[in-house]
A and B are shown apart, each in its own frame.
Chain A
C-alpha cells in the first residue's frame, strides 16, 4: 500500500507510481483546518469588523477560559479518561480567588490560592480514579456537582466584586491589559500552549500519558507507573481549572459562583474536534488549539452576523458530530485499505501501488 488515502496520511516508498506530499499534521485534521480557513476567508469578505485587530483581541479574550480548560482536558482525554468537573472547579477556584482578594490578601497569595484550590480538587479526582479505582465518569460527575456547590456555599451564592480592590489591579491587567497592541493574555495563552505541547511531546511523562491511554497493561508491563500518571492528568486538569478561574475573575472583575452550562460542552467539543479521541492514546495540544479557535471564531462570526446566540450550542453540536464523524469515516477507510493491502501483499509496504492503479 503506497498511497494511503485521499487525505494524504503518511505515504509511500520512493518507487511509488503516484506520490502524495506527506502532510503529517494536516492529515489528521485536514478537514477542520480547511473548514477553518474557508470560514475565516468568508467571514473576512462578508462581515464588517471581522478582519480587524480589535476583533482578534476580542476572540482571544473570549476564549481564554475555554482554552485553559481544553488544554487541561486534553491530557485527561489522551490518558483515556474525561473530566466533567472542569467548569465547576473553575467556578470554585474563582470564588477562592475572590474571597482572598476580599479578605485583603496580596495579589500573589490570591493567585496562588486560586491555583491551589483547582489543583487540590483535581488531585481529589485523580486519587479517586487512580487509587480507589472508581470510574472516572462517576468521580468527575460527582465532583462537578460538589465543586458547583462549594462555589455557591463559600459566599452564600453571591458574586464577589473585586473591581475596587488595589490588589486586584495586577490580575485585571493580566486578563485585559495589552503589551503594545498584543493582549497579555494572548502571550500567556501562547506560553501555556507551548509548555503543554512540550510536556506531551518531549517528556517522559508525556509519553506515559499516551501509553496509559493507548494500552494501560502494555504501559504497566514496560515500567510506567499507570496510577501516578493517571493521578497527574487529573491534577493537571484541576490546575488548568485554577488558571481558568483566575482569567475569569480578572476579566469579569469579580468572582461569580454561577456556571455557564454550555462551557463544558464547548470545551469537550473543542478537544474532540481537534482530533483527540475518547478512546485514549490519541490527540495533541495543537489540535485542541485548533478546536478552540474554530468554535471561537464560528461564535464570533455568528455574533457579528447578528445571528441569535440561541443557535450557538446547536452549531457547536453539529460541528462536533461532523468533525468527529468525518474523521471516523476516514480512519475506517484507511483501515480497510490497510487490510486489503495486507491480504494482497505481506505487509503495509509489501505491495506497490500497481495493485490499485
Chain B
C-alpha cells in the first residue's frame, strides 16, 4: 500500500497525534476538530452542525473547552488535547502517537492512556512512540526498539523486564571515538548557578569546575534545553549565576561576561546564513575586531584565515555565505568563533545535532582541548553515547529538575537512560 500524503493516510483510517502541534491557532476549537471535513453542503459550511458536532466530541472526551474558543488562546495542554480529540474523531483503525504525552500533565496523560485503552478495546491498532518507560508498561503489549534508524528488537510487554529493555535501547560499545581525558580538573568552580529558574525549569543549582565537562541528559521537555537558554541569557530567567568568579546578570546575552553559548538550532539562532563565513566568525569577536567602532579589516582578515584553518572549516572562500556550507562546517563556525576567544565557560546545546561523523569527532576533540585549557564546559545533548563518552560528570533532568548525577564509572548509558525515563536513579 502506498500512502502519498496525509489526506490519503486519513482516508485509510490512519491518524497521527504528534508532539508538534498541527493546529491552526487563529481558528476556533470546532474548526480545528473538523478541519478538512467541515459539515455542510455544496461548498458551504453549516456552522450550526459544526458547533453541535464539536460540542459532542468535547463532551465525550471531558474537555472543559467551549467549541468557539480560539485555539491559540488555550493553554498548551488544552491545545494538545484538541489535537488528540481531532485524531480520535475520525475513528481511526490505526492510531499513531508520537511523544503525545510530552506536554501533558500527569492527569491529562493518564486520561489519554485511558482513552487509548478504550480505543484498543474497540479494535484500533495503536502505535505509541515514547521515551517514557512507565507509559510502555502501562499501555503496550509489545515494545519495538528503534536504534540507528532500524528496529533492533521487538519484545513482549510486560514479560520483558525494564532493565533488559533499557539495555536494548543502548546496546553499543564505546571506542576511542570520543578521545580520552588527559588532564585533572581544577578544583575551582568556573561556572556556578544557584536557583536558576525559567519557564519549564525549576530552580536549579549547578557547579562546573574549571577543566570539567559536565553533561546534561534528559528527554525532550525535560528542561535541559531551557537550562542552556537560561544560563546563556537567551530567555528570561531568575536566580544567580557566577562565571569565573564574577556575577553575571541573567536574562541578557552572556558572551561579554565570559560565557559562550552554542544554541541547539544553529540556523535559527546562531548563523547569519546569507552573510559570509568571515562575518559569521567575526560576529562573536566584536571587542577585538572593532576599535572605537571602526573595523580593523586587516586584523579581522588574519583572524578569520587563522580560524578557518584551525577549526578546519571547509569553504572555498571565507566570502561564501554560511548557507553554502555543510551542517558540520556551519557548526564549526558557531563553535570555533567562541572557542577562539578562550572563554572561562561554555554552554553547548546539542552541538552535534545533524552533522556528519567526522565533524562530530572534531568537535569532541575541540571540547577536550578547551577543558584541558581550563574552561568549564556544560554539554547538553540528546545523544547518550556522546554524553557518556565525553563527559566527566552527567546530570539527568526530568520534568524541569535535575534528578540524578553520575560520575566516573557510574556514567553508563543504562544508568543515565534509567534516570531519564523514570525520573529517578536506579536503586543500587
Task: List A residues at the B interface (Cβ < 8 Å).
Answer: 1-2, 4, 10-13, 24, 201-207, 210-211, 214-215, 217-224, 277, 279, 281-282, 335, 338, 342, 346-350
Contact = CB atoms under 8 A, between A and B. Distances in A.
A348 B356 CA distance: 14
Given A214-B272, A221-B263, A223-B255, A348 B283 contact: no
A221 B271 contact: no
B315 interface: yes
Contact of B270 (A202, A206, A218): A218
B326 interface: yes
B286 interface: yes
A277 B321 CA distance: 15
B107 interface: no
Contacts of B275: 210-211, 214, 281-282
Contacts of B316: 1-2, 4, 10-13, 348-349
B283 A211 contact: yes
Contact of B283 (A206, A218, A282, A346): A218
Contacts of A348: 314-316, 320, 324-326
Candidate in A2, A202, A214, A221 with the most chain B CB atoms within 10 angstroms = A221
B166 interface: no
Given A202-B294, A210-B279, A221 B261 contact: yes
Interface string B295-322: 1010000000000000000111101100
Interface in B67-93: none
A350 B314 contact: yes
Contact of B293 (A203, A215, A218): A203
Given A215-B269, A222-B283, 16 more contacts: A2-B316, A4-B316, A204-B295, A207-B290, A211-B272, A215-B272, A218-B272, A221-B232, A221-B261, A221-B263, A221-B269, A281-B274, A282-B275, A347-B329, A348-B324, A349-B316
B390 to A, nearest CB: 23
B293 A279 contact: no
Contacts of B255: 221-223
Interface residues of B, number: 40
B317 A10 contact: yes
B294 A204 contact: yes
A218 B271 contact: yes
B246 interface: no
21 contacts: A10-B320, A202-B294, A207-B279, A207-B295, A211-B283, A214-B272, A215-B268, A215-B269, A215-B272, A218-B283, A221-B232, A221-B263, A222-B253, A222-B286, A223-B253, A223-B286, A224-B286, A279-B274, A346-B314, A346-B356, A348-B316
Contacts of B274: 214, 277, 279, 281-282
Top 9 A-B pairs, shortest CB-CB distance: A214-B272, A347-B314, A204-B290, A347-B326, A204-B293, A202-B295, A222-B283, A217-B269, A10-B317
Contacts of A223: 253, 255-256, 286
A224 to B, nearest CB: 8
B234 interface: yes
B230 interface: no
Interface string B236-259: 000000000000000001011000
A347 to B, nearest CB: 4
Interface in B320-351: 320, 323-326, 328-329
A210 B272 contact: yes
A136 B283 CA distance: 25
Contacts of B319: 10, 24
A12 B263 CA distance: 32
B273 interface: yes
Contacts of B323: 335
B284 interface: yes
A2 B317 CA distance: 11
B282 interface: yes
A346 B313 CA distance: 12
Contacts of A206: 295
Contacts of B286: 204, 222-224
Contacts of A204: 286, 290, 293-295
A189 to B, nearest CB: 24
B186 to A, nearest CB: 27
A261 to B, nearest CB: 32
Interface in B273-293: 273-275, 279, 282-284, 286, 290, 293
A210 B278 CA distance: 13
A327 B65 CA distance: 50
B293 A222 contact: no
A202 B299 CA distance: 13
Contacts of A201: 295
Interface string B97-120: 000000000000000000000000
A346 B326 contact: yes
Given A207-B282, A210-B272, A221 B315 contact: no
Contacts of A335: 323
A320 to B, nearest CB: 20
B304 to A, nearest CB: 13
Candidate in B253, B268, B356 with the most chain A CB atoms within 10 angstroms = B253
A1 B326 CA distance: 12
Nearest to A205: B293
A350 B238 CA distance: 46
A217 B263 CA distance: 11
A217 B269 CA distance: 5
B317 to A, nearest CB: 5
Nearest to A2: B316
A215 B279 CA distance: 12
A203 B273 CA distance: 21
A22 to B, nearest CB: 8
A24 B278 CA distance: 15
A346 B328 CA distance: 9
Nearest to B290: A204
A134 B327 CA distance: 34
A349 B314 contact: yes
A106 to B, nearest CB: 33
Contact of A281 (B272, B284, B314): B272
A279 B253 CA distance: 25
